[in-house]
Structure 1
């Protein structure tokens, strides 16, 4: 496993300017969409967290990985046709524009899901 970065900025610094640009773009989308979430490094990747980690993202060799957990992928399976996906991951090729609306919609869904889960726990 790669070394764990001490900050988001350190993580970004490991990549070429072209990839840094994509990382900064998804970070900006997520910061605007999830203003109350805290940016963290989790599993060696940048992530946004409230009561739980909502989404992760990471630079890969040929794509930007977006990791909204299994529910974030399965809930948007129709909208994700055309992307390579797996149980909790979405591959966004570097040579296409980031699907900003889809990223925002998935992040909002994950935030609502986390809030619902937190509310259910507090009722117990």
Structure 2
């Protein structure tokens, strides 16, 4: 299924994740006000120039927030302290343990800086 925008993506996501995705989108939009909302690789994201600064996704059992590797490394302790799992470019989390708002903001700002934007 190809989705054309963030609204369509959120509407098509598993019901338990929709409020979380909407909040994540709003937080990223506030933190990256000059970013363009895009859909790439079947995921909604925020792009500045040619670089995707942050994107998010919902899966069957969890959600993910995807950023630059430098942002994940820079905030590894905060991510672990929040009880979240991180990969090289993302953080996965269940609906009952979302990423704290202030951490989302710090991650997005760091991702932007890491990409030189």
TM over 0.5: yes
Aligned length: 114
Q: Which residue of structure 1 lines up, in the alignment, with residue 109 of structure 2? A: 108
Q: Which residue of structure 2 lines up, in the alignment, with residue 4 of structure 1? A: 2
Structure having the higher Rg: 1
Provide TM-score, normalisation by structure 2.
0.88
Q: Which residue of structure 2 lines up, in the alignment, with residue 47 of structure 1? A: 45
Q: Which residue of structure 2 lines up, in the alignment, with residue 122 of structure 1? A: none
Quote the Cα distance in structure 1 between the aligned partners of 2:102 and 2:44. Answer: 20
Quote the Cα distance in structure 1 between the aligned partners of 2:14 and 2:29. Answer: 22
Q: 5+ unaligned residues in a row in structure 1: which ranges?
A: 119-124
1:14 pairs, out of 12, 23, 26, with 12
Quote the Cα distance in structure 2 between the aligned partners of 1:10 and 1:97. Answer: 21
Quote the Cα distance in structure 2 between the aligned partners of 1:97 and 1:77. Answer: 16
Report the alpha carbon displacement of residue 99 of structure 1 after superposing the two structures with TM.
0.9
Quote the Cα distance in structure 1 between the aligned partners of 2:28 and 2:111. Answer: 12
What stretches of structure 1 move > 3 A for 4+ residues in a row? none
Q: 5+ unaligned residues in a row in structure 2: which ranges?
A: none
Whether contact under 8 Å (2:37, 2:47) holds in the other structure is yes
Cα RMSD (Å): 1.5
Provide TM-score, normalisation by structure 1.
0.84
